[in-house]
Amino acid sequence: MNQTPHPPARRPVSAAHAQARLLDAADELFYREGVRNVGIDSLVALAGVNKMSLYRQFESKDALLLAYLERQDQCFWDKFETSIAKHPDAPQLQLPQFFNDWAQRASAPDYRGCPFVNVAAEFADPEHPARRFVLGNKTRLLARITEIVTAIGVADPMTLAYGIALMIEGCYTASQTYGPGHPMLHAAADCVAGMIARASTPPPC
């Protein structure tokens, strides 16, 4: 008598492994498709875990979203500071270097812009925890830019910092409007270098 073979039992997944799998799934799906477009079923299916695992690790989709943002924040700052560190003794070159490195990343076919901007656009309530997290990331970035341009020695570092921060946000938008690898994205570093040079030039006597 033939017996129908049973499917192999799914091996238990540790809490740490389940958490990592869910974060990996969030990294892919939230960034590619948007937070609101991604359901719990899609997340657990890609992660290869069940819903109970998700709620054990994160309590809710919003909790997973915040963990996703924390991971993206770490990734952003690692990349930012890696760019800055390429010119430790030349602060005038540090921010153009960041834009150069960013343009390379923005040339990838799957580049979807800034994950923080994307999340902020999905949540209208400025008091939503995700919106507050995004504001914290952008506030810290503005402070870091201000620190760098102050080290350059420009007369009005805050105005220059505002301008460069606006350039960053504009580049994120342009990358999605014009598409990955557009020449405009690669022009950003030269634009920022020009802004720094003009701000560093003393006024005529």
Domains located in the chain, CATH noted: 11-59 (1.10.10.60), 70-200 (1.10.357.10)
Q: Which of 94, 109, 126 is nearest to 32 (CA)?
A: 109
pTM of the model: 0.88
CA distances from 121 to 7, 40, 156, 164 (A): 43, 20, 31, 21
The per-residue pLDDT for range 100-151, each reduced to its tens digit, is 999 999 999 999 999 999 999 999 999 999 999 999 999 999 999 999 999 9
pLDDT given for residue 54 in this prediction: 85
- Give the angle 173-176-181 at the CA atoms, nearest 5°: 110
Dig out the tokens for 87 from the structure.
Answer: 């010119």
Q: Which of 199, 61, 92 is nearest to 69 (CA)?
A: 61
